[in-house]
Amino acid sequence: MEQGASGSNETVIDSEQDWRDERTRDIVDKIETLRQSIDNVDMAIVALLAERFKYTSSVGVLKARAGFAPADYKREEEQMRRLRRLAIDAGLDPEIAEEYREFVVTEAKKRHKRIAETGEDPGVLDIFA
Amino acid sequence: MEQGASGSNETVIDSEQDWRDERTRDIVDKIETLRQSIDNVDMAIVALLAERFKYTSSVGVLKARAGFAPADYKREEEQMRRLRRLAIDAGLDPEIAEEYREFVVTEAKKRHKRIAETGEDPGVLDIFA
């Protein structure tokens, strides 16, 4: 089998396959190693996201208890500035750090909506934690 | 100053402020502690995203060198299944893990476009790494 199962639009890369030459075999091995690193990164990020949503939920509960508004734009601005700076330090496009923040905020909103739709108490929406 | 500077739509929470009572003061301290944890999580995720984009770029270069197509739907399906399982294990809504994957794929595309627009060589787009 050459270049995977599905022709030119897709190449299924699988170390069990019988690749056409030594050089291709070598590239496939390197890709497999990198994919394992990508999977490890994803595992760590999923674990961190789980913690992040627990923290933001707790902040939401505390804000409600104190009668605080959900929004805190000063905090939001500081977070954004910090994330951009951290991204630059880490060699990441700062636009991606901004989009990451958009992503967690959007997910917090969706999550809240999903919980409300199942009839459960969605708790306090705290997208600005 | 009570409940921050901007009235009911926003509460700026800042430990330097003179909060109205001991109980509010205590809640503010708890929120500050949680916010530090959220910031630490964000720092770790930004560092991991920087690594992830480096890995996926390398995969892109290797695929191009071997003449492989960018897409590998088998890999994509496996990643998605794995991410959902990891999310459940971590106590994270598996929908959020799916959205995380959407996020990194979308960012890889945007990043590629941004680089191309500046006239630099955008390299190989490898959103499926």
The pLDDT value recorded for residue B1 is 37
Angstrom distance (rounded) from CA B52 to CA B2: 44
Average pLDDT over residues A103-111: 81
Give A-chain residues touching B72 at CB under 8 angstroms.
4, 10-13
Whether the pLDDT of residue B129 is over 70: the answer is no
Tens digit of each residue's pLDDT (9 = 90 or more) over B20-69? 789 999 999 999 999 999 999 999 999 999 999 999 888 888 888 888 88
The pLDDT value recorded for residue B123 is 61
- Half-sphere exposure for B1 (CA within 13 Å, toward CB): 13
CA A45 → CA A33, B61, B123, distances in Å?
19, 24, 26
Question: B50, A87 in Cβ contact below 8 A?
Answer: yes
The pLDDT value recorded for residue B4 is 44
Please name which of A99, A100, A94, A107 lies closest in space to residue A56, comparing C-alpha atoms. A107
Tens digit of each residue's pLDDT (9 = 90 or more) over B66-94? 888 878 889 989 999 999 999 999 999 99
Comparing A11 with B7, the larger pLDDT belongs to A11
Average pLDDT over residues A41-59: 94
Interface confidence, given as ipTM, is 0.83
Comparing B113 with B22, the larger pLDDT belongs to B22
As given in the structure block, the two tokens for residue B9 are 């739509």
Question: B13, B4 in Cβ contact below 8 A?
Answer: yes
Interface size, chain A vs chain B, as Cβ–Cβ contacts under 8 Å: 218
Task: Kindly tell me the burial class for residue B107, based on how many C-beta atoms sit within 10 Å of its own C-beta (0-12, 13-18, 19 or more).
Answer: buried
Angstrom distance (rounded) from CA B52 to CA B39: 20
Tens digit of each residue's pLDDT (9 = 90 or more) over A18-41? 777 899 999 999 999 999 999 999
The pLDDT value recorded for residue B125 is 59
- Across-strand partners of A71? B10
In chain B, which among 12-71 make CB contacts under 8 A with chain A? 12-14, 23-24, 27-28, 30-31, 34-35, 37-39, 41-56, 58-59, 62-63, 65-69, 71
Which residue of B lies nearest to A20 if distances are taken between CA atoms? B66
- DSSP codes joined into one string, chain B: --S-SSGGGB----TTS--SSHHHHHHHHHHHHHHHHHHHHHHHHHHHHHHHHHHHHHHHHHHHHHT--SB-HHHHHHHHHHHHHHHHHHT--HHHHHHHHHHHHHHHHHHHHHHHHTTS------S--
Minimal Cβ distance to B86: which of A4, A46, A90: A46
Distance of CA B106 to the CA centre of its chain: 12
**CATH number of the domain at A7-117, out of 3.40.50.300, 1.10.10.10, 1.20.59.10, 1.20.1250.20?**
1.20.59.10
Comparing B125 with B102, the larger pLDDT belongs to B102
